[in-house]
Structure 1
Amino acid sequence: MKNLMFLLGLVNALVFSVFSTKCFSCSAKNSTKCQKEMEIDCLGDACLIASQYFHNGDNSFQSILKGCGDDNVCGAEGSATGKFSKYRFFASCCTGNLCNTGGYTLPVEDLTPNGKVCPSCYVKGSTDECESNETIKCTGTEIRCFNYRASVRNPDNSVVDYSVKGCSNSFGCKINFDHKIGIEELYREKLNC
């Protein structure tokens, strides 16, 4: 029995060492540069750098996250645009030990109109549904309309209740706006795409 346990432990250690990668890990919730990076062990061979831009009313924040790569997120490019609001997210992955040495990167935004038109409104200070007769012409890959109402804690620790409608791309809707760096959703009233 002892030999079997030893053998299983040895196999586990070998599997982990063969299928693990070292990646840099850090998070900067209101900066494009991490102050302290640690080395962590990740299963698989991918490391991640995720960059985010978030504009809500009067405030704009850029944030970065480094860590283990995940097939569900690698290559993801999320975006949503509404009146007085903008959310952009990009996750790039690389293969090999400590390969995620790069910095904050967001692809160039495609501002080419795509023919989709969505309702557009923004209210700060309330999670009640905003109402407006205004519309927004969607651009690039933002081919879906969204309606989002929530209370969030921004990277500067300010708490904002707001309601916004606008355009989103498919990935922005798929992740339900849950891939946020340094933005804490305190309460979600509604999200429809």
Structure 2
Amino acid sequence: MKNLVALLCLVFALHSSVFSYKCLSGVSHNSTTCNVSEAECLGDRCMTVCQYFYVDGIYFKSIYKSCANETICGLKGSGFHETVIFRFYVSCCSGHLCNTDEYYLPKDDPTPNGKFCPSAYCNDTVEECKSPHIVECTGAMDTCFDYRTEAIVFDGTSRNYSVKGCINAAACKLNFGDCIAITEKKRSLLTCNEPSIKLNKP
């Protein structure tokens, strides 16, 4: 009986070693490259998340590598106000240590799509930021967003943000709480709605 148990343990160990996959794992908050280590994963898929975030005249290019989160594989999204831009892309691959890809973001389509959203930005409050401005959305950004939060940027500074503008469905699905360079401390609001203003074309 002991021999049988030992044999089963050996078979299990061999099976686990054969079918155990690893992915490159690492994160950089303000660079297109990062130092990586190896992480064991439950599945055989790895991912690389690339992000661009522009706010207050400062931009962050960030990259994150890890075991794949299947719910976000393939997602790419954009959101913008005149002074705030958020873009990301999630690429996934299959196989041992396969996520060797470099920083890459697909280009946004700059073509106006005939939809408009309220546009506002305040960096000192989590209350509604009010503005008479309207921004014309472009490409796949066909949704209006209103986002208010207290967040910590990568240098440890805590700031309040209140932003309105255009966004696409993928960016709303990922939501700003998953930003690499900015960590939500306390969210006050995130809504994504159909544009209430549209351009009538003949």
TM-score of the alignment, normalized to the shorter chain, above 0.5:
yes
Please give the residue correspondences for 1:1-193 in structure 2 after superposition, counting only pairs within 5 Å.
9=9, 12-13=12-13, 16-34=16-34, 36-193=35-192
CA-to-aligned-CA distance 1:95-114 (integer Å, 9 cap, x gap): 11111112211111111111
Matched residues, number: 192
Contact 1:16–1:43 (CA<8 Å) still a contact in 2? no
Q: In 1, distance between residues paired with 2:78 and 2:3?
A: 54
Are residues 14 and 110 of structure 1, via their aligned partners in 2, closer, same or farther at CA, if it must alter by over 3 Å?
farther
- Tell me how far apart the structure 2 counterparts of residues 5 and 137 of structure 1 sit (CA, whole Å): 68
Q: Go from structure 1 to structure 2 and tell me whether the alpha carbon gap of 1:8 and 1:110 turns closer, same or farther (over 3 Å shift).
A: farther
Q: Does the Cα contact within 8 Å between 2:32 and 2:63 map onto a contact in 1?
A: yes
Structure 1, unaligned stretches of length 5 or more? none
Amino acid at match of 2:27: S
Distance across 1 between alignment mates of 2:148 and 2:13:
47
Native 8 Å contact 1:123 1:130 kept in 2: yes
SS at match of 1:178: helix
Whole-Å separation in 2 of the counterparts to 1:12 and 1:82: 54
Identity %: 47
Note closer, same or farther for the CA distance 1:149–1:20 as it changes in structure 2 (3 Å cut).
same
Amino acid at match of 1:28: S
Give the Cα separation in 1 of the matches to 2:94 and 2:25.
15
Give the TM-score normalised by the residue count of structure 1: 0.90
C-alpha separation between the residues in 2 aligned to 1:162 and 1:140?
A: 25
What do the CA deviations read for 1:92-134 (whole angstroms, capped 9, x no partner)? 1111111111221111111111121111011111111011121
C-alpha displacement of 1:19: 4.0
Counterpart Cα distance in 2 of 1:93 and 1:118: 32
Inter-CA distance 6–176: structure 2 relative to 1 (3 Å threshold): farther
Counterpart secondary structure, 1:147: strand
Contact 1:61–1:155 (Cα < 8 Å) also in 2: no
What TM-score, normalized by structure 2, do the two folds share? 0.86
1:154 aligned partner, one-letter code: V
**C-alpha RMSD over aligned residues:** 2.0
Task: Tell me the CA shift for residue 10 of structure 1.
Answer: 5.0
